[in-house]
Amino acid sequence: MTARTAAVEQARAEFIPTDTELWDGTIVRDDDGAFAQVVGGRRDPLRVSKKNETELTNLLALRDGVTRLLDLESQSTVDGDEIRATRADLRAGYESYVRRYGPINRFTVTKTGARLTPEAPRLMKADPFGPAVLALELFDDETQTSKPAARLERRVVAPRPIKEGAETPAEAVALSMDRHGYADIETIAYLLGTTEQDAREQLGTLVFDDPDQDGQIVPAAEYLSGNVREKFDHARTAADDDPERYGPNVVALQEVIPETIGSDQIEARIGAVWIDAATHQAFFRDVLRDRSFRVESPLPGEWVVKGDKHSLLATEEYGTNARPAPEIAAALLEQRPVEVRVEIEVGDSKRRVIDAQETTAAQEKADKLQERFGDWVWEDAERAQRLVDEYNRRFNAIVLRDYTNDGQYLTLPGLTESFSPRPHQRAAVARIVSEPAVGLFHQVGAGKTAEMVMGAMELRRMGLASKPAVVVCVRLDNVHGLPGREIASPARPC
């Protein structure tokens, strides 16, 4: 038996399964008094010094007490005898702990300025419900004093009422969005107390049948935003086959499409991504009078240019002998600097350096070629219209969605009663639920952390994410000023 096999067999023999309902990281104490921590469905031994066993046991009792209180409060809106008794027991347990050990969040400061947390609270932080224990008190870092948090005095969690009916179609859509994160016709019909067909008729243009989602209904705010030009094209195609169902989409999208940007507002430059290779080729063939001039773009940003480098137009009008027009064209298409380099001898070696005079001449020809291109693209009406359409399709097709109203339907179950999200925070949560990627570019103090926590909880509640995670990335750059400590080199960037 190899050493690896022996280690595996020993691990299997020592494997102690745990309750599947316990979260990973949960600290438990067995009947024999030994501590363990749940890791991957098993109980791993947890080292605790003898003198701190009793304190950790008390913290685990506080954990069990606060989780039970939160569960009870989330199930009832009335503070019955059981809730009051549980809260009183938790308060008594907390006060007893403080009298014996001091505040849960206490710490000491070393000579080097580092904070040292006692072993039991430090281990408690690793438990998934450890933060709830630490939040049982309001702790003052400067005075090292604490007082009971509101949770020990009054209710902080209340179940949100689940409405089983809606008075209006708009309310039914909002309730469906709150339950599922999307408009569900079955739920809406149930809330309105009618059939799905009748519910769809009542909804009208509050929702639209999306041809890109097999006709799934989508709230108007969602459907009439995003790339509306692309949606308009798809809607027109769908309306050709089913005008009654998709005709309203065409009308509504046509009203929100951004106003077309005309050629007088567009700057056409060689190498622009919205101008195809064929148009570039036609330009160079025209101005250089070179029917064999070829321009191809096998990959985005990559160009292949071939043309006559010896004609007068290529070396005099739109280029130089040192840098003829085809070479200048290739540089402009790939957004490279137009330079002319020459080889010189430096001692026993040779170096390539920029020829200032030739480079200046070549750059003047590049500017002339660029200027001519800017006029040429609009000289033909058919070509101009095609390029204007392409430009608008690429860069003038997005309508931003306003989540201000959408955020108001969120009931946010489990949110503490003492915290009332602001409208912009509700809008941010609605956006997190509705979009695959969101940037919260608020100013400091606007409540981004609360938005992220509420968003993660909503994604989990609605089943849109099975295991949401918040990754905190800290970057330290030459941190000084810590007593007796200095970080000379910056930490790795996020």
Instruction: Using alpha carbons, select from 308, 307, 311, 325 the residue that is nearest to residue 362.
Output: 325
Residue 261 lies in a domain: no
| pTM for the whole structure | 0.65
Q: Is the pLDDT of residue 419 over 90?
A: no
Is the same domain home to 103 and 180? no
Q: Is the pLDDT of residue 277 over 90?
A: yes
Residue 327 lies in a domain: yes
Is the same domain home to 275 and 390? yes
In the chain, pLDDT over 90 holds for what percent of residues? Answer: 60
Spatial separation of the C-alpha atoms in residues 311 and 288, rounded to whole Å: 8
pLDDT of residue 13: 47
Range of the domain at 203: 169-256
Tell me the average pLDDT across 230-246: 95
Report which of residues 3 and 244 the model is more confident about.
244
Strands 27-29 and 398-399: unpaired
Boundary residue ending a domain (191, 226, 256): 256
Is the same domain home to 183 and 132? no
Residue 262 lies in a domain: no
Spatial separation of the C-alpha atoms in residues 315 and 328, rounded to whole Å: 11
Residue 162 lies in a domain: no
Amino acid at 297: S
pLDDT tens, position by position, 3-19: 656 555 554 444 444 45
Is the same domain home to 284 and 373? yes
CA atoms within 13 A on the CB side of 320: 17
pLDDT of residue 487: 42
Q: Is the pLDDT of residue 393 over 70?
A: yes
pLDDT tens, position by position, 154-174: 988 777 777 788 888 988 988
Tell me the average pLDDT across 121-128: 93
Boundary residue ending a domain (157, 188, 203): 157
Is the same domain home to 272 and 390? yes
Spatial separation of the C-alpha atoms in residues 191 and 466, rounded to whole Å: 27
Count up the domains in the chain and report the number: 5
Is the same domain home to 18 and 65? no
Instruction: Tokens for 177, please give them.
Output: 């969005």
Q: What is the dihedral of CA 121, 123, 129, 135, to 10 degrees?
A: 20
Is the same domain home to 308 and 359? yes
Which range has the worst mean pLDDT, 23-27, 48-52, 435-439? 435-439
Mean pLDDT of the chain: 87
Residue 347 lies in a domain: yes
Is the same domain home to 273 and 387? yes
Q: Is the pLDDT of residue 480 over 70?
A: no
Is the same domain home to 202 and 311? no
pLDDT of residue 224: 93
Tell me the average pLDDT across 89-109: 95
β-bridge partners, 112: none
Q: Which residues contact 400 (CB under 8 A, 6 or more apart)?
A: 225
Is the same domain home to 127 and 215? no
pLDDT of residue 33: 87
Instruction: Tokens for 487, please give them.
Output: 């970080």
Is the same domain home to 367 and 462? no
Q: Are 344 and 350 in contact (CB under 8 A)?
A: yes
> Residue 67, class by beta-carbon neighbours within 10 Å (0-12 exposed, 13-18 middle, 19+ buried)?
middle
Is the same domain home to 371 and 273? yes
Rg of the chain on CA atoms, in Å? 34
Where does 299-355 have alpha helices with state H?
A: 312, 325-333
pLDDT of residue 347: 79
Which range has the worst mean pLDDT, 36-40, 68-72, 357-361, 486-490? 486-490
pLDDT tens, position by position, 308-323: 999 999 999 999 999 9
Sole residue written with tokens 């402009």: 332
